[in-house]
């Protein structure tokens, strides 16, 4: 099975963490949750989820993972300021591993400088940021291009999770 990193800061969108996390773990994949520091409890912006990261983002090695999932909410905006999160996201993308970003998570992709020339989707309020970074923005449930998977909002989580699982299945079958 695959090994997947989730990177979070406080105020992540609760369901955008929980739904893909549950789907991946139920499918038997190993999931590692990383935050700005290991062991520091993080709470979702709606207060429905509380997560204690397994490790610090700065301790992650891209070579150890098959995929990266970045939930939305206010978390990605905070992670943009964490050089380790930007560096890890860039490394995962540049080495061809699957990077999945939902809702506001596209803002971290901007700082990682990985979306130029790609078609993406997101929460509409960051559309201009993504376009200014060289991406083409579309209003679709899920967009897959290169090794990137993007979705717009919590309503898209079933399709977003399905896309991640399909990518991981391809990887495991290869």
Catalytic position from the list 8, 102, 103, 168: 103
| Annotation marks residue 103 as catalytic | yes
CA gap 156, 102 in Å, rounded: 9
Please choose, from the candidates 101, 96, 91, the residue with its C-alpha nearest in 3D space to the C-alpha of residue 8.
101
User: Using alpha carbons only, how large is the chain's radius of gyration in Å?
Assistant: 14
As annotated, the active-site residues are 103
């Amino acid at each position: 099975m695959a090994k997947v990193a989730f990177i979070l800061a406080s105020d992540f969108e609760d369901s955008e963490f929980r739904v893909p996390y549950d789907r991946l773990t139920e499918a038997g994949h190993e999931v590692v949750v990383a935050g700005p520091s290991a062991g520091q409890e993080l709470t979702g912006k709606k207060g429905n989820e509380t997560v204690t990261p397994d490790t610090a983002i700065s301790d992650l090695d891209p070579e150890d993972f098959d995929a990266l999932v970045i939930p939305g909410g206010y978390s990605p905006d905070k992670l943009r300021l964490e050089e380790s999160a930007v560096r890890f996201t860039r490394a995962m993308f540049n080495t061809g591993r699957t990077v999945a970003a939902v809702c506001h998570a596209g803002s971290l992709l901007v700082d990682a400088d990985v979306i130029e020339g790609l078609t993406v989707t997101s929460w509409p309020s960051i559309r201009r940021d993504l376009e200014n970074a060289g991406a083409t923005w579309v209003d679709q449930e899920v967009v897959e291009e290169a090794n990137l998977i993007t979705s717009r909002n919590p309503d898209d989580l079933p399709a977003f999770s399905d896309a991640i699982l399909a990518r991981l299945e391809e990887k495991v079958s290869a």
